[in-house]
Amino acid sequence: MNSLNSLDYIRKNVLENNFEQALADLSQSGTVRSDAKLRNEILLQISKCRKLEANRRLGTQSAESLSLEENRIRLAVLELIDLIEANAQTQKPFSGPVDAFISYRRADGAEVARLIRAELIRHNCQAFLDVEDLGGGDWNESLLERIQEARNFIVILSQESLSRIRDENDVMEREISHAISLDKKVIPILMPEFQFPSTELLPVRINTLQQHNGVSYSHEFFQATIEKLMSYLD
């Protein structure tokens, strides 16, 4: 299980909720066999999978609670795959056409951003996420170039996403305003706890943000969220 094709297959299993199979496949990699911390992490996630399924059968958790735990496991396994992939090869900068640029606030939007990126890739969309895909060079200018290349601009609007939006050097404001100025297809992902501030509190360059058709995010109906997002992409 050393090829990148195998890792892509395991990612597919994760996104189809075949967590235990994905973890079993990961456990066979040379990286995991030689790393006690990774082995223990895999065992922990397997334990969580079995507990989740037991609670599902017994009906001891609400559907929303089960969905939240499922997403936590999904993200944890995707992070394990990333670690193994990084060990297998030197990471290369993102290249090729960009279908969607994903903008998010790291404080509370990173998890959803990574899950959405993984799903878009599974649907054969080239999705750019700065923490994963950015190579060398001037960081800010490279981000703006990727936005210019992308046909779609997806912005994760979490509770804290616009909290610093009026700061002069706020990166998220710069990303959003750049996408709007280029007339990109802007698709807000509206997290359950997010509320738009009044228009006068938004910087002029992004005060049209709430006029764009958005997708309401749901942990419980994650696949429906992705399907609606896919229908909006150019």
d(CA 34, CA 220): 36
Q: What are phi and psi of 157, to 5 degrees?
A: -100, 90
Any catalytic annotation for residue 175?
A: yes
Phi, psi of 228 (to 5 degrees): -65, -40
Q: Which residues of 111-137 are buried (b: 16+ CB within 10 A; e: fewer)?
A: bbbbbbbbbbbeeebbbbbbeebeeee
Smallest CA-to-CA distance from 206 within 168, 165, 171 is with: 165
CA angle 85, 86, 91 (to 5 degrees): 110
- Euclidean distance between the first and final Cα of the chain, in Å? 36
Catalytic option among 64, 70, 175, 220: 175
Describe the strand order of the beta sheet including 152-157 as a list of residue ranges: 127-129, 100-103, 152-157, 185-190, 215-216
Measuring CA to CA, which residue among 9, 77, 12, 67 is closest to residue 41? 77
| Chain center to CA of 171 | 18
Annotated catalytic sites, by residue? 175
